[in-house]
Amino acid sequence: MKAFITGATGFVGGHLAAKLVSRGDDVVALVRSPRKTGDLTRLGADIVEGDLDSVDAMREGMRGCGACFHVAAGYKVGVFEEGCEDMRRANIAGTENVLRAAVDAEVGRIVYVSTIGYYGNTRGQVVDETFERTDKDWLTCYDETKYEAHEVAKRFISEGAPVLIAHPGGIYGPGDTSDLNDLLDRVKKGWLKVSLMPGVGFNFVHVDDVVDGLLLIHDKGRIGENYNLGGELTTLGDLVGRVATLAGRKPPTRELPVSLIKKATFAWRYLAPLMGFPPNLKELIKASDGVTYWASHDKARNELGYSPRTLDVGLPDVV
C-alpha cells in the first residue's frame, strides 16, 4: 500500500511513518520544512514539500495512494488569541484542504485523526462514540478548533467520502515534545514540588498503541465510523505520581489550590515556564479544574482487535 501522511515529522506521524515502512508500505509525507526530512528520508519516504494550505501539492502527492492519514494539527492549551488564530487555520481550514485533496485524488481510505477531547468535558462519565455533545462552551481554543475540524470530516462523510475518524486520548511515549512531556520531564528531574489541578482526568495512551489503532482503523474499520483509541483512564496527578516513583523521585505532596492560582493571573506568564505550564492561566483552569476527558475504547477493541497497554507497561518507556 502507498500511504500519504500529514504531520509525518511530528510525534504521532513520525511513529506512524516508521510503522508503515516496517510492514512494507510506501510512505509519501507532506513536509513543511526540508530541514526536518532526515528521519523520513532514511525511511525511504517520498517527500512532498508544502503545508496544509498546499492543496495542489497534496493532491498530486496523493495520486496513486490507497490511504491518507491526516495527523497534522495545531495543539496548544493555555494560549492567547494569537496562538488561537494559528490553530484555526491549521485545524479547521487545514482539515478541509487535506480531505478535499484526498477526495480529488481518489484515495481509497482516509483516516482523520480527531481527539477524545471532541466530546468535551465528560464530567466524570466514560462516554463512547455515540455520545452527542451539547455543551459548546469551549474549554480551549484547541477544543473549539478540533471540534470544528471534526465537523468538517463528518460533512465529507455525508457527501460520500471514504473517511474514518480516530479519537486518541492523551498520548505519551518516547519522542513526545508536548507540554505533557515537559511536565513529566520536570517530574523525572525532581523539579516539580507542587501539583496543579491533579484531578483532571485523561485516557492516557502510548504512542505505539495509537499508531497500531490508526492502522487497524484503516485496515478493518467501517467507512464513516468513529473509533476511540485510549489506554488507561486516570488523572494527571496519578500519572505524575507514577512517573516520579519510576524515576526514583518523591512525587509532589502539595496541591496548589485553584483559588490561589486565580489570584496569580498577572504573574502567571512569568511563573508558568518555571513550572512547566503554558501561559494563559484562564484557559488552563477552564480546561482542567473539575474536567475529565474520559472515553471508552471498547468499540475499537471489539470490532478491530485494538489492545492497548496499561500505564504500568507503557510508562517505563517515558522514564
What digits encode the pLDDT tens for the residues 87-102?
999 999 999 999 999 9
Q: At what angle do helices 179-188 and 236-246 cross, to 10 degrees?
A: 40
Looking at residue 58, what is its pLDDT?
98
Least Cα distance to 284 among 203, 191, 180 occurs for 180
**3-state DSSP assignment of residue 252:** coil
* Averaged pLDDT of the chain: 92
The beta strand positions in 34-133, using DSSP E, are 46-49, 67-70, 109-113
> In this model, does residue 302 exceed pLDDT 90?
yes
Average pLDDT (188-211) is: 92
pLDDT of residue 265: 64
Maximum C-alpha span of the chain: 57
Q: Are 296 and 230 in contact (CB under 8 A)?
A: yes
Contact 144, 173 (CB under 8 A): no
Map out the domains of the chain as residue ranges.
2-173+204-231+294-302
State the DSSP code for 92: I
Residue of 11, 19, 319 whose CA lies nearest to 3: 19
pLDDT in tens, 233-260: 999 999 999 999 999 999 888 887 777 6
Residue with cell 495542489: 56
How far apart are the C-alpha atoms of 169 and 235, rounded to whole Å? 12
Taking 60 as the threshold, does the pLDDT of residue 276 lie above it?
no
Q: Label residue 173 exposed, middle or buried (CB < 10 Å: 0-12, 13-18, 19+).
A: buried
CATH superfamily, with its number, for domain 2-173+204-231+294-302: NAD(P)-binding Rossmann-like Domain (3.40.50.720)
Q: What's the predicted TM-score (pTM) here?
A: 0.93
